[in-house]
Amino acid sequence: MINKILNALDTLIEVSGKVSSYLIILLIALVSISVFLRYLFSVGFVWLQDLYIWVHSLFILLGIGYTLKKDEHVRIDILYRGLSKKIKKNINVIGYLLFCIPFTYCLTSSGFEYFLRSYLLSENSKETGGLPNIYILKFFIFFLGLIFILEIFRFLITSLKKDGNN
């Protein structure tokens, strides 16, 4: 049962990371088109600028959980890199419990309120000609919190499971 849950969480986070990696290609294309139109034809579209801001935001928001899963996030590891794997794992567990879970709770609850307010107001871009339904983008802040907490629980369960087997 636990293995099925862990596999489902792994799959969800892998899909999130894969979608994020495809979004960077889309982002490069959108920015290139915008620059091409602006400098060659002196044409600019607010909706296009909004779109690449949205894609950039989604790239980051969907990629954070994947980056955490792969343990590839940026850290200043002057002391950490020289420690044994067991001590690193213990530091990570303590860090997740003391810092990540409270942060994720705040992110998820605030993100939901932020999304809900935007949805109830049918919020659109503040720029004339910008993209409508900005609540879609704001939903992904809440979604990041969900992905983040799922990854934290996946890590903690996997860590405890490994301790139980040793």
Instruction: Quick: pLDDT tens for 19-76.
Output: 999 999 999 999 999 999 999 999 999 999 999 999 999 999 999 999 999 988 777 7
pTM greater than 0.85 (yes/no): no
Name which of 1-5, 41-45, 83-87, 116-120 the model is least confident about.
1-5
Structure tokens at 150: 């799922």
Cβ neighbors of 26 (< 8 A, separation 6 or more) are 55
pLDDT band at 166 (very low <50, low <70, confident <90, very high): very low
Q: Note the pLDDT of residue 78.
A: 81
- Contact by Cβ (8 Å): 96, 156: yes
Q: CA angle, corner 88, sides to 79 and 6, nearest 5? A: 150
